[in-house]
Amino acid sequence: MKSQPAAAVITMQVPFFRPDLGEGEIDEVIATLRSGWLTTGPRVKRFEAAFAAAVGAPHAVSVNSCTAALHLAVEALGLHAGQAVLVPTMTFAATAEVVRYQGAIPILVDCDPVTNNMDLADAERKLSAFHRAPGGMAHAPDVVGIMPVHIGGLMLDMAAVNAFAARHGLWVVEDAAHAFPAAWRPARGAAWQRCGENTATVTCFSFYVNKTITTGEGGMAVTHDAALAQRMRLMSLHGLSNDAWNRYAGGPWDYRIVAPGYKYNLTDVAAAIGIHQLPRAETMRQRREQIAGMYLEMLSRCELIELPPSDPNRIHSWHLFPIRLKLDALSISRNGLMEELRGAGVTCSVHWRPLHLHPYYQETFGFSADTCPNATAAFDQLISVPIFPGMADVEVEYVAMVFKNMVEHFAV
Ligand SMILES: *Cc1c(COP(=O)(O)O)cnc(C)c1O
């Protein structure tokens, strides 16, 4: 069907994301500034305790990014050169780079063509190919871990992931940057398990500005393992035996450097935001779920696209709303469509160029488009439309209308 492109009548500008910050967050930041204690202190302790309770984990270590949390997790697990880790190719830079920080090798795994989450069948294939590969290598790297990513907040089947890990003797570090709050259950009627509620050895969350809750920049690692939590806490602040707040708050002035740690601690200014985002997290998730429902309904009859899946056995965080274009039926590329949409006032994004299509991973490990064919195919088709709790109904309707008109305009 050929119709007038919506670009001809710009009526609205819809950004990809707007942070949702209330007076509570603002007042708490001001109170923190007035308190005289800006770095890691009492507000970080409050935020950690509240977050641990929210996901049902006994230990929560706050840091200044999810990347830092992922790094501390693999460090605490002893990851080192000569080892390898299964990492989904459909993810952000952070998931694989922390493996490289430790000198270890990321083995990139293809995605499921519907959810885009890591495909365990391909993980199995990559694992056996890896063991066979470098002809009789005397010291073939040991595959020690797997790092699932719940894309957009739609959780993987964690029983399947953990069974796979147990079968191959792997630890599991969950990149849950999109998955707070989110939950899964094996079947209808079974108990829900929250992401972080012992779903993995360590689960890492992001509070980057456009994630489901924010502290501006921030992250959290949660675990049921006290020794891992202790190691992550130690390494998050220079490997010091005694942190600044403890010293200030009446502890001994003295400290010992017990390991060459990092500078990953979260500030009280950031935690002040988190303390007030946390109680609003479920309300914000429900609003995103409502927006997803509106998109699903308004776009359901469009034959030119595939809409993201949902699942009655998942509590979906709806951090993203990725649409797949049926390129065979369209006379425009994904990038071309994104430009047209931007011209009509709608800013979209792509999640993601898969890791095996980036120069660093191709040049260092010899990955090519064929390494992960599902992800290679998905990359050209994926487009994420705006979804954030402060989006007005009229904005959602506008995005859906413009998107639908635009793809229909370019139908072949
Ligand atoms: C955003 C993101 C990260 C990194 O989070 P930061 O807090 O910015 O370090 C890691 N993994 C995924 C999948 C992400 O989307």
Ligand 1 centroid–CA 60 distance in Å is 17
Q: How many CB atoms lie within 10 A of CB 226?
A: 10
Region for 81 from its dihedrals, namely left if φ exceeds 0, alpha if ψ lies in -120 to 50, beta otherwise: beta
Domain boundaries, the chain: 6-18+281-409, 23-280
Region for 366 from its dihedrals, namely left if φ exceeds 0, alpha if ψ lies in -120 to 50, beta otherwise: left
Under DSSP, the state recorded for 390 is: T
Ligand 1 centroid–CA 350 distance in Å is 14
Mean pLDDT calculated for residue range 321-338: 98
Least confident of 34-48, 236-250, 268-282, 374-388: 236-250
In 3D space, the residue among 62, 67, 58 whose CA is nearest the CA of residue 43 turns out to be 62
- Work out the end-to-end distance of the chain between its first and last CA atoms, rounded to an integer number of angstroms: 8
Atom of ligand 1 nearest to the CA of 175: 11
Predicted local confidence at residue 8, as pLDDT: 52
CATH fold, domain 23-280, is Aspartate Aminotransferase; domain 2 (3.40.640)
Tell me the pLDDT band of 6, cut-offs 50, 70 and 90.
low
CA distance linking residue 38 with residue 52, whole number of Å: 22
Residue from 206, 215, 220, 264 to probe ligand 1 pocket by mutation (most atoms less than 8 Å from CB) = 206
Mean pLDDT calculated for residue range 84-109: 98
User: Residue 53: CB partners within 8 Å, gap ≥ 6?
Assistant: none
**Class in CATH terms, 6-18+281-409:** alpha beta
Residue from 89, 175, 210 to probe ligand 1 pocket by mutation (most atoms less than 8 Å from CB) = 175
ω into residue 352 within 30 of 0, thus cis?
yes
- In whole angstroms, how far apart are CA 303 and each of 211, 307, 329? 30, 10, 9
Residue 396 has pLDDT above 70, yes or no: yes
Report DSSP letters for 135-167, one per residue: TT-TTPPEEEEE--B-GGG----HHHHHHHHHH
Helices (H), 136-256: 158-168, 226-236, 244-248
ω into residue 245 within 30 of 0, thus cis?
no
Residue from 61, 65, 67 to probe ligand 1 pocket by mutation (most atoms less than 8 Å from CB) = 67
Ligand 1 centroid–CA 258 distance in Å is 29
Q: Of residues 389 and 4, which shows the higher confidence score? A: 389
In 3D space, the residue among 401, 400, 398, 388 whose CA is nearest the CA of residue 19 turns out to be 388
Predicted local confidence at residue 4, as pLDDT: 55
Mean pLDDT calculated for residue range 357-379: 97
Mean pLDDT calculated for residue range 334-357: 98
Sign of the torsion formed by the C-alpha atoms of 7, 10, 11 and 13:
positive
pLDDT over 70, % of the chain? 96
Predicted local confidence at residue 246, as pLDDT: 77
Is residue 88 classed as helix, strand or coil in its secondary structure?
strand
Predicted local confidence at residue 134, as pLDDT: 55
Q: How many CB atoms lie within 10 A of CB 198?
A: 18
Ligand 1 centroid–CA 63 distance in Å is 13
Pocket lined around ligand 1, Cβ cut-off 6 Å: 65-67, 91-92, 94-95, 149, 175, 177-178, 206, 208, 219
> What's the token pair of residue 338?
């994104």
Give residue-wise pLDDT tens across range 31-77.
999 999 999 999 999 999 999 999 999 999 999 999 999 999 999 99
Is 374 within 8 Å of 382 (Cβ atoms)?
A: no
2, 45, 126, 211: which is the annotated catalytic residue? 211
Atom of ligand 1 nearest to the CA of 217: 7
Computed over every residue of the chain, the mean pLDDT equals: 95
Atom of ligand 1 nearest to the CA of 219: 7
Residue 137 has pLDDT above 70, yes or no: no
Q: Of residues 351 and 4, which shows the higher confidence score? A: 351
Q: What is the CA radius of gyration of the chain?
A: 22
Under DSSP, the state recorded for 257 is: B
Residue 244 has pLDDT above 90, yes or no: no
CA distance linking residue 183 with residue 55, whole number of Å: 9
CB burial class (10 A; 0-12, 13-18, 19+) of residue 130?
A: middle
Give residue-wise pLDDT tens across range 194-239.
999 999 999 999 999 999 999 999 999 999 999 999 999 999 999 9
Give residue-wise pLDDT tens across range 296-323.
999 999 999 999 998 999 999 999 999 9
CA distance linking residue 44 with residue 50, whole number of Å: 10
Residue 5 has pLDDT above 80, yes or no: no
Atom of ligand 1 nearest to the CA of 67: 9
Ligand 1 centroid–CA 214 distance in Å is 12
> What's the token pair of residue 288?
């995103």
Residue 136 has pLDDT above 80, yes or no: no
Q: How many CB atoms lie within 10 A of CB 30?
A: 11
What's phi and psi for 5, nearest 5 deg? -65, 145
Ligand 1 centroid–CA 218 distance in Å is 10
- In whole angstroms, how far apart are CA 408 and each of 234, 295, 301, 330, 411? 56, 16, 11, 8, 5
Atom of ligand 1 nearest to the CA of 91: 13
Q: Are strands 142-146 and 219-223 parallel, antiparallel or unpaired?
A: unpaired
- In whole angstroms, how far apart are CA 239 and each of 48, 197, 234, 265, 307? 19, 27, 5, 11, 47
> What's the token pair of residue 95?
């998931």
Active site residue 2: no
Residue 377 has pLDDT above 90, yes or no: yes
Residue 7 has pLDDT above 90, yes or no: no
